[in-house]
Amino acid sequence: MVAAALPDLDTLVGLWIPGGHRAVFHTLLLPMGAGTLLLTDKIGGSWIRRRWGAYGVRVAWVSLVSLLVAGIGLDLVTNGVNAFYPVHDQFYSVSGKLQFSNQEGVVQTFIQPQAHGSTANTHYRTGFDLARGPDPAEKERVFPIVRSGRQLLLGAMSFGIVGFRLWESRNK
């Protein structure tokens, strides 16, 4: 859960670095670096395995996947992320459709990433940082928890599964 939440700490970094939200920690360079470290550790005799055993190795790899899929991937397919920041300052989103048409056949638009803006001209509004530059006075600060029935269902299911797994492991 920590690995999946880590990229959203750039919400706070965005207070000091204009356009930093969805850039500083949402970069794909972060999981690429972590993956390289994990592969190097595996090849080099696995310090992680010696220190924490097979469970530690499993937690490290699951954390990497969580960072990539839940931390960065969800935002990449929602509104976009600055995927290669700071090497290449460009926000991308991968959103589209996959459908079958009786006239056009299979139509998909996911493989065409959409580029839109850089940290210089892109701002994602959050409850912490309402606007680029100084925040407007007396504006409401909203911190979304659930925005749709689908999110509520998935969130409730996730908490239920984690709770059950914790309860199950306690009784072993």
Which residue reads 């600055």 in tokens? 82
- Over residues 120-140, the pLDDT tens digits come to 888 888 888 888 888 888 888
- Over residues 34-46, the pLDDT tens digits come to 999 999 988 878 8
What pLDDT was estimated at residue 72?
A: 94
Confidence of residue 84 (pLDDT cuts 50, 70, 90): very high
- Over residues 42-80, the pLDDT tens digits come to 887 888 888 998 899 999 999 999 999 999 998 988 888
Residues 42 and 119 in one domain: yes
Beta strands per DSSP E along 3-87: none
Residues 108 and 152 in one domain: no
By residue range, what is the domain housing residue 160? 147-172
Residues 39 and 23 in one domain: yes
Residues 116 and 41 in one domain: yes
Q: How far is CA 84 from CA 29, 32, 76, 134, in A?
A: 6, 10, 12, 27
Residues 163 and 90 in one domain: no
What pLDDT was estimated at residue 172?
A: 66
Residues 57 and 97 in one domain: yes
Residues 124 and 152 in one domain: no
Burial 61-97 (b: 16+ CB within 10 A, else e): eebbebbbebbbbebbeeebbbbebeeeebbbbbeee
Residues 14 and 67 in one domain: yes
What token pair was written down for 53?
């055993």
Residues 64 and 133 in one domain: yes
Residues 59 and 120 in one domain: yes
CB atoms within 10 A of CB 169: 8
Residues 65 and 40 in one domain: yes
- Asked if residue 66 lies in contact with residue 76, where contact means CB atoms within 8 angstroms, the answer is no
Residues 120 and 36 in one domain: yes
Instruction: State how many domains the chain has.
Output: 2
